[in-house]
């Protein structure tokens, strides 16, 4: 069942990327939060799959998402 997490994770990542590129501040903000959700989903799937490098990647991407969010809030 946990194998199915990769599909909502993929959709969340694609939609988040679309939203982050929006002109609206609210949509960009939603995109950052959706990116963080996708990081969590990918991490859960990666732990189950034993993909340690994907866990590290998702942690790094989450840090970059938080940094980007902070920069856009200035």
pLDDT band for position 3 (50/70/90)? Answer: confident
Q: What is the pLDDT of residue 57?
A: 97
Tally the domains of the chain.
1
- Domain range for 39 is 2-73
User: Burial, 28: exposed, middle or buried (Cβ in 10 Å; 0-12, 13-18, 19+)?
Assistant: middle
Q: What average pLDDT does this structure show over 46-70?
A: 95
Tens digit of each residue's pLDDT (9 = 90 or more) over 7-50: 999 999 999 999 999 999 999 999 999 999 999 999 999 999 99
This prediction's pTM: 0.90
Measured between alpha carbons, how far is residue 55 from residues 5, 11, 17, 49, 73 in Å? 14, 18, 19, 10, 27
Average pLDDT over residues 37-65: 96
């Amino acid at each position: 069942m946990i194998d199915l997490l990769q599909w909502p994770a993929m959709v969340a990542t694609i939609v988040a990327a679309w939203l982050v590129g929006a002109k609206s501040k609210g949509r960009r903000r939603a995109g950052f939060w959706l990116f963080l959700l996708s990081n969590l989903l990918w991490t859960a799937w990666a732990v189950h799959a034993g993909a340690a490098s994907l866990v590290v990647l998702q942690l790094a991407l989450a840090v970059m998402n938080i940094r980007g969010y902070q920069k856009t809030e200035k």
